[in-house]
């Protein structure tokens, strides 16, 4: 005797059915998906899931992550590194000025005298 066959959307499965799919595919079902072309020409992904009584063709809606607009995000991110928050009276720690070394007293002053 052959098993009953059914087509169902993943969203319409009961919680118990979803739990059973997780048990049957503990490593995930992404590698078990089949791409099917509908009579209207639409492509859909489906999982063939077999129980004791029924062979299900479970329609899966692929969740495509929403990618942010690349130009906007990258420009904003890069701009944050270009901006340096310098308080009044302080110098940028990344500056190439030789004045930073004068604070330590290891260089002679402008008039040639060494600090002691």
What confidence tens digit (pLDDT) does each residue in 73-104 have?
455 555 555 555 655 555 555 555 555 555 55
Q: Is residue 75 part of a domain?
A: no
Q: Is residue 77 part of a domain?
A: no
pTM of the model: 0.50
Q: Is residue 80 part of a domain?
A: no
Find out whether 46 and 60 touch, Cβ atoms under 8 Å: yes
**What total number of domains does the chain contain?**
1
More confident call, 21 vs 116? 21
Q: Is residue 52 part of a domain?
A: yes
* Residue 14 pLDDT > 90: yes
Contacts of 77 (CB under 8 A, 6+ apart): none
> Which pLDDT band holds residue 45 (cuts at 50, 70, 90)?
very high
What pLDDT does 19 receive? Answer: 93
Q: Is residue 24 part of a domain?
A: yes
8 φ/ψ angles, rounded to the nearest 5 degrees: -145, 150
What pLDDT does 116 receive? Answer: 52
Q: Is residue 65 part of a domain?
A: no
């Amino acid at each position: 005797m052959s098993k009953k066959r059914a087509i169902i959307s993943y969203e319409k499965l009961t919680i118990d059915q979803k739990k059973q799919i997780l048990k049957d595919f503990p490593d995930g079902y992404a590698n078990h998906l089949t791409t099917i072309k509908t009579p209207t020409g639409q492509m859909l992904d489906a999982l063939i899931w077999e129980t004791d009584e029924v062979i299900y063709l479970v329609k899966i809606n692929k969740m495509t992550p929403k990618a942010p607009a690349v130009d906007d995000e990258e420009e904003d991110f890069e701009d944050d590194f270009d901006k340096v928050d310098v308080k009044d009276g302080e110098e940028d720690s990344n500056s190439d000025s030789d004045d930073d070394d004068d604070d330590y007293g290891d260089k002679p002053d402008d008039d040639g005298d060494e600090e002691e």
